[in-house]
Amino acid sequence: MDRRLIWLAVGAFATSTVAFVFAGLLPLISASAKISIAEAGRLMTVFSLSYAIGTPILSTLFGAVDRRRVIALALLCFIAGNALAAASGSYLGLLGAQIVMGTAAGLFASTAQAAAIALSSPDHRARAVSAVLGGTTLAVAIGAPLGALIGNLAGWRSTYLFIAALAFFCLAVLWLRLPHGISGVKLSLKERVMVIGRPGVLPSLVVTFLYLTGGFAVICYFGPLATQGAGMPVAMVPAMLLVFGLGAIIGNYSSGQLADRLGATRLVALSLTGFIAVCLLLTAVLEFAPSHLAGPLLIALMLPWGIIGWMFPPAQASRLVAVAPELASLTMPLNVSAMYFGIALGSFVGGQALELAPPAELGLIAAVFSLAALGVLAASTRQARRRGFQPG
C-alpha cells in the first residue's frame, strides 16, 4: 500500500475525531460555558450542518484545483477552527469555530478520498478509499475516548489543541509527500445533486439520514446518559466511548465479510433491527435497573451497540454503489452529506428531548427513527424488485 495513504488516513482520523469526541466533551463544555446541555448539543448540530452543506458546495468550487493544495487549505482551516474553539470565550465564538471545522472537515474528507483514488491503480482504488476511511473508524475507537480523557484531565480546550496539533503534523507530512498535479473533476453542483433522481438513490439516502438521526440523538448525549441517567461520574464517559469504539472496529471489520455472505441489503436490515433492540434495552436499563447496576450495564451495552452500529455504514455504502456503480463518485459524497444531515438533526432532537424528558427516553426516540429507516428500506427493496433489479 502507498504510504501516503496512511497520512491521508491520519488526516481523516484528526478531522473525524472532532465529530465523535463531542459526546465526551458535552458535559464539560456545558459546565464551563454555563449553558444547558441542549445548547451545547447545538454546537454539534452546527458542525454537522456545516459539513453536510459545505461538502458538495466546496467540492464544486475547488473541483478543478490541485488536490494537494485543496488538502492543505482544508487542513489549515480545520486547524484554525480548532484554535478558535480552544481560545473562544463565548458561545457565539464556539458556534463560529464549529462552522469552520465542519466545512473544512468535509472538504478534506471528499478531497482525501479523491486523492487516494488518484494515487492508486484501478484495481486497488476500493482498497485505497477503505484505507482512508479507516481513519474515521479509528477516530471512533481511539480518537474520541482519548480526546475525552484529555478533556477530563486538562480541560476541553486542551482536546481542541491536541486535535489541531495532530492536524498540523498531517499537513506538514502531506504537503511534503503528496505530488503536484493531482487533478480533480470539475462538475457543477447541479450535476452532483441531480444523481438523486436515479432510481433507488433517494430511498438509500433517506435510510442513511434516518439511521444517523436516531443514532446521534443518543450518541451525542452519552455524557448525560452516563451522569444523569446512570448516575456515573463524568470521568467514566471516556470508558464508555472506548468500549463503543472497540465495538465499532469489530463491526466495521466484520461488515464486509457478512455482506458477502448475507447480502448488503439483508445486513443493513439486520443492523437496523439490532439497533432498535439495543435502543429499547438501553431505555429499559436506565428506567428499571437498580442504581448500582445501571452504570455497568450501560457500559456493557456500548460493545454490542458499537458492533451493530458500525456494521451499517459499509453495507449501506455497498447498497448505494450497487444501485448506480458508474455514479459511485457522486453518490458516495451525497451519502456522507445524508449522514451529517442525520447527525445534525439527531443532535438537535436529542437536545430538545433532554429539556422535556429524562435521558432514558432518548433510546425510544432513536428506535422510532430506525424503525422508519427499516420501513423505507423494505419499501424501496420491494420497488426495486418490481423494476427487475435485485438489490445486493
What residue spans define the domains of the chain?
A: 1-186, 191-392
The pLDDT confidence band at residue 56, using thresholds 50, 70 and 90, is: confident
Q: What is the pLDDT of residue 352?
A: 92
- The answer on pLDDT for 1 being more than 60 is no
Q: Which three cell numbers stand for residue 302?
A: 456500548
Q: What is the pLDDT of residue 77?
A: 96
The pLDDT confidence band at residue 84, using thresholds 50, 70 and 90, is: very high
The pLDDT confidence band at residue 176, using thresholds 50, 70 and 90, is: confident
The pLDDT confidence band at residue 127, using thresholds 50, 70 and 90, is: low
Q: What is the pLDDT of residue 383?
A: 83
Q: What is the number of alpha carbons within 13 Å of residue 46 lying toward its C-beta?
A: 17
Query: What whole-number percentage of the chain has pLDDT above 90?
Result: 40
Measure the N-to-C terminal CA separation of the chain; round to a whole number of Å.
Answer: 28
Query: What whole-number percentage of the chain has pLDDT above 70?
Result: 91
Equal CATH topology for 1-186 and 191-392: yes
Q: What is the pLDDT of residue 102?
A: 94
CA–CA dist 110, 59 (Å, integer): 7
Q: Which three cell numbers stand for residue 41?
A: 448539543
- The answer on pLDDT for 165 being more than 90 is yes
CA–CA dist 384, 74 (Å, integer): 39
Instruction: Quote the Cα angle for 358-360-366, to 5°.
Output: 115
CATH class of 1-186: mainly alpha
**Domain topology for 191-392:** Growth Hormone; Chain: A; (1.20.1250)
Q: What is the pLDDT of residue 67?
A: 81
Per residue in 253-297, pLDDT (tens digit) is 788 778 778 888 899 999 999 999 999 999 999 999 998 899 999
The pLDDT confidence band at residue 186, using thresholds 50, 70 and 90, is: low
For 174, phi then psi, to 5°, come to: -65, -35
Average pLDDT rounded to a whole number, residues 83-105: 93
The contacts of residue 154 (CB under 8 Å, 6+ apart) are none
Q: What is the pLDDT of residue 124?
A: 62
Amino acid at 6: I
The pLDDT confidence band at residue 185, using thresholds 50, 70 and 90, is: low
Instruction: Compute the chain's Rg from CA coordinates.
Output: 20
Distance of CA 311 to the CA centre of its chain: 13
